[in-house]
Amino acid sequence: MVNDLLSGMNISDDFSMTMQFIIVNHSGEIFFISDNLRPLFGITEGNNISLFECDPNLDLVLRNFSNSGFPSFQLDLNHKCIDNKEILLTVNIQRFTIGLKDLFLIVVSHGNENNWIHDKINNFYNALEYGYIPVIIADNSGLITYSTASFEKILETDLDSIYNNSIVSVLSIQVNDDILLLLKNALEQASFWKTTICNIEEGGGIKYWDIELNPVKIEGGKSHNFIITAHDITDYVKKNKVIKKSEDRLKLFINNISDLLLVVRQNDGVLYLENANDNFCSFFNLDKEQDLQKSISEFSNMPVISSIKKIFSGMSNNSYVGVEPIKTSKGLRQYYTKITTIDDLIEDEKLFIVNLNDITDQIEYEEGLKRAYEKEMHLNKLKSALIENLSHEIRTPFNAIMGYSDIIDECIHTNDFETLSEVSFSLKDVLNRILNLFTNIVEVAQLETDEVKLDKAKLNYHEALKAVYNKKLKEASAKNLDFKLDLDSKNELLNTDWVKFDKAITCIVDNAIKYTYKGFVEISSEVKEGCVIICITDSGRGMDQDEITRLLLPFEQGEIVYNRDYEGLGLGLTIAYRVIQILGGKLVMQSQKGIGTIVTISFPL
């Protein structure tokens, strides 16, 4: 194939042996290279001309020459040999066609040292033009003395408008007044200046260029010129726009998440605040400009950061899900916390994505539903027990009232006023029992629905205990019981609700008298370890210890059979127990079957 090429070019064998030349196609693929050039260039047939190291780049010059209409082109090259010596070569490129193939003949010769400077200038000019390198040269005042054609295209003007014109005036169409002022200062101070411009291509696309001004010292540094270069940054700008658009979308997405979102970066074992959405920053008073990128150790006084740091220290894998209590400006809040980990293998870092969702209201709502359900179940049970007990406790006294009414009618007809008086007294007793029954039912209903309102005041509890004693003395005496009152000598005041206090003590004493058929009932008090201790002791029938808890529930009695010995709904102990709790006291019962019961009540002073 090489012989065919040489024949087609009319190159004799003697010429090919003496001349140094290379034949390449438009893409730089080498079809032939002279034997004496192979060791010099370090390339052979089948290689690409781009492997040839020289200044300027021969591959770039060849490609631009290929796109031009010129038949030939000559330039000088600096080539570094294998032994690192630099030699000057003159390269002549000629275009020819064989068949349908466009080929290039590159003839290489050593440059003439006498014409080296002149040729280098010419070659530099050709390299700039054909290498499409945008360059402007200006004198020390900023007047343009040279411009490549490529710069004319960038500035969208012609050489006449550029040559011998001020660089400030030429660029005034492309940049604003503030940037021009910086350019003027750079020209005056012979300093570096840089800006970015854009222009619209024929196809409608936008090209972006970095324009740089560099001062060049000449004549031993006594004077200077300026070189203005342009660098195509279109791809860089477009990539940055894509990245910026992606970042903006990501930020928009993150900031529109209603949850609190925090990104923590771990580098060399140290945790840093990498990023956070607007909701997180606003809620926890973080300043994105100042606080982000700082180590989280600098936020030890911030409860949310301390809680997150504690989670990190206890994480055994790359994720965490749980509910964390965090102190905020709104008080202690419960946050559903989810942490996921992303490993950055390139930077050898870890990113922790922390998602916080305030579920305090949800938890309180669920707990409220649970309490409401439990209260509803309790009230249903209370209602059932009430109905069961009312069938006996209301029917019995009303039957008595019916019987007493018949006796009253008979006494009126017979004028038996003595019997009438006795029946009237008994009737009042039955009515009082019914009234007390309904009063207790209302009291329990209020206690069970937490609708009790307290009216506290300083109370001399001695007087309250004496009032209960005097109120129940007649009832105890009617049963021949030894009813005793033993109060301590200290006259302390108790901050409590007098009415509720009296109700609780009365219920317990009433219960003691009711279930004691012989012996004694005693009310005693003492002050001990900052508390008032009140004991109601009786020698009644007593009960097993396992019955005490049951008796503190509504409608429970010592006997659960229908034909029990004592009337009542079993509300006395329940009322007393709940009232003492509401007043801030404590009730403890100790009892033994057949021996008696001790009820101990304590109130802090």
Q: Which CATH class is domain 2-130?
A: alpha beta
Amino acid found at 515:
Y
Q: Where are the domains of the chain?
A: 2-130, 135-238, 257-358, 367-446, 452-604
For the chain, the C-alpha Rg in angstroms (whole number) is 54
Same topology between domain 135-238 and domain 257-358: yes
Q: Is residue 601 over pLDDT 80?
A: yes
For the segment(s) 367-446, the CATH number from 1.10.260, 1.10.287, 3.30.70, 1.10.3470 is: 1.10.287
Query: What's the pLDDT at 558?
Result: 43
Residue 393, phi then psi, degrees to nearest 5 = -70, -25
* 305: number of Cβ within 10 Å: 22
Task: pLDDT band for 446, please (50, 70, 90 cuts).
Answer: low
Task: Give all strands of the β-sheet with 101-110 in edge-to-edge order.
Answer: 30-33, 21-25, 101-110, 86-98, 72-80, 54-55
Q: Are 520 and 535 in contact (CB under 8 A)?
A: no
Average pLDDT over residues 583-596: 89
Q: How far apart are CA 63 and CA 41, in angstroms?
A: 19
Highest mean pLDDT among 347-361, 398-412, 465-479: 465-479
Report the topology of domain 135-238: Beta-Lactamase (3.30.450)
Number of alpha carbons in the 13 Å side-chain half-sphere of residue 581: 12
Q: Side by side, which strands form the sheet with 206-218?
A: 144-147, 135-138, 223-232, 206-218, 193-200
pLDDT in tens, 510-528: 889 988 989 999 999 999 8
Whether 273 and 290 have beta carbons less than 8 Å apart is answered as no
Which superfamily is assigned to 257-358 in CATH?
Answer: PAS domain (3.30.450.20)
pLDDT tens by residue, 400-427: 777 778 888 888 888 877 777 777 777 7
Give the pLDDT of residue 567: 45
In the chain, the amino acid numbered 451 is E
Q: Is the pLDDT of residue 570 over 70?
A: no
Output the pLDDT for position 15: 46
Q: What is the pLDDT of residue 245?
A: 80
What are the pLDDT digits (tens) for 49-63?
888 888 888 888 888
Q: Residue 365 pLDDT > 90, yes or no?
A: no
CATH number of 452-604: 3.30.565.10
How far apart are alpha carbons 161 and 171 in whole angstroms? Answer: 11
Res 561: pLDDT: 33
Q: Edge-to-edge strand order for the sheet containing 586-592? A: 482-486, 520-528, 531-538, 596-604, 586-592
| 602: confidence class by pLDDT, cuts 50, 70, 90 | very high
Question: DSSP string of 463-493?
Answer: HHHHHHHHHHHHHHHHTT-EEEEE--S---E
- The predicted structure's pLDDT at residue 182: 92
Beta strands in 391-546, from DSSP E residues, in sequence order:
457-460, 482-486, 493-496, 520-528, 531-538
**Among 12-16, 370-374, 463-467, 500-504, the least confident range:** 12-16
Q: Classify strands 482-486 and 520-528 as parallel, antiparallel or unpaired.
A: parallel
The pLDDT of residue 303 is above 50? yes
Question: Does 95 have pLDDT greater than 80?
Answer: yes
Closest to 211 in 3D by CA, of 199, 226, 193: 193
pLDDT tens for each residue of 211-270: 999 998 765 556 788 999 888 888 888 888 887 787 777 667 666 777 888 888 888 888
pLDDT bracket for residue 126 (50, 70, 90): low
- Whether residue 130 is predicted with pLDDT greater than 70 in this model: the reply is no
519 φψ region: left (φ > 0), alpha (ψ -120 to 50), beta (else): left
Q: Using pLDDT thresholds of 50, 70 and 90, give the confidence band for residue 566.
A: very low
Lowest mean pLDDT among 58-67, 421-430, 460-469, 592-601: 421-430
Angle, CA of 419, 424 and 429, to the nearest 5°: 130
What rounded mean pLDDT belongs to the chain?
79
Comparing CA positions, the residue from 13, 21, 57 lying closest to residue 37 is: 21
Average pLDDT over residues 161-169: 85
Return all residues near 506 (Cβ < 8 A) that are at least 6 apart: 468, 471, 472
For residue 78, what pLDDT is reported? 82
* pLDDT for 437 beyond 70: no
The least confident of 348-352, 423-427, 527-531 is 423-427
Tell whether pTM > 0.85.
no
